[in-house]
């Protein structure tokens, strides 16, 4: 039996923290589906297609052969059932992340009783790191090279870094 897990997230943009969680999940499960949500009510810096392409470049660059990048257009619980996934893997940076993620895990479990959620604490190097932090630093022209994978740095800088 192939053990499939889903790593959902906005990935707007992909950070070293995201790569850390995805890489660690790859060591635990046979197949990882990195799921990018389609949410027309939320404003993203990168389109779904762009986020998926950035994730593919990052995962290929890291040699993560058991990763598949996909989009989610509905409920994660339904998507997991459709894909045969029994686990959702979520990274936690701080206790404040836990409350929201715990609520999501309980809702997903109610919608799909076979779905479990696994929380992975982020590495200490990435505890402060989020896509929002990257966007804020880039927006003020700061150096984001320590926060995003090298293979996508230029693309992210072109979109987010303050010009001139």
To the query of whether residue 131 is one of the catalytic residues in this protein, the response is: yes
Give residue limits of the domains in the chain: 4-160
Task: Single out the catalytic residue among 10, 51, 90, 131.
Answer: 131
**For domain 4-160, is the CATH number 3.40.50.620?**
yes
Q: What is the pLDDT of residues 14-56, one digit of tens each?
A: 999 999 999 999 999 999 999 999 988 888 999 999 999 999 9
Rounded to 5 degrees, what are φ and ψ at 89?
-105, 125
Q: Is 93 a catalytic residue?
A: yes
- The predicted model scores a pTM of 0.94
Burial of 156 (0-12, 13-18, 19+ CB in 10 A): buried
pLDDT confidence of residue 163: 52
Q: pLDDT of 116-162, one tens digit each?
A: 999 999 999 998 999 999 999 999 999 999 999 999 999 999 999 86
Dihedral Cα 136, 69, 90, 140, nearest 10 deg: 0
Residue 42 falls in the annotated catalytic set: yes
Q: CA 10 → CA 3, 38, 46, distances in Å?
A: 23, 9, 10
Those residues whose C-beta lies under 8 Å from the C-beta of residue 140, and which sit 6 or more positions away, are: 162
């Amino acid at each position: 039996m192939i053990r499939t897990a889903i790593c959902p997230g906005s990935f707007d943009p992909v950070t070293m923290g995201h790569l850390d969680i995805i890489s660690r999940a790859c060591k635990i499960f046979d197949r990882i589906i990195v799921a990018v949500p389609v949410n027309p009510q939320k404003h993203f810096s990168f389109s779904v297609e762009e986020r998926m392409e950035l994730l593919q470049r990052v995962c290929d660059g890291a040699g993560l052969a058991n990763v598949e990048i996909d989009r989610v257009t509905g409920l994660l619980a339904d998507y997991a059932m459709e894909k045969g996934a029994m686990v959702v893997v979520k990274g936690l940076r701080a206790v404040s992340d836990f409350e929201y993620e715990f609520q999501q895990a309980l809702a997903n479990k109610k919608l799909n009783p076979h779905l479990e959620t696994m929380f992975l604490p982020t590495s200490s190097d990435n505890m402060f790191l989020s896509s929002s932090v990257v966007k804020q630093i880039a927006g003020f022209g700061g150096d984001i090279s320590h926060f995003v994978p090298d293979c996508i740095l230029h693309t992210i800088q072109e979109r987010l870094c303050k010009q001139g």
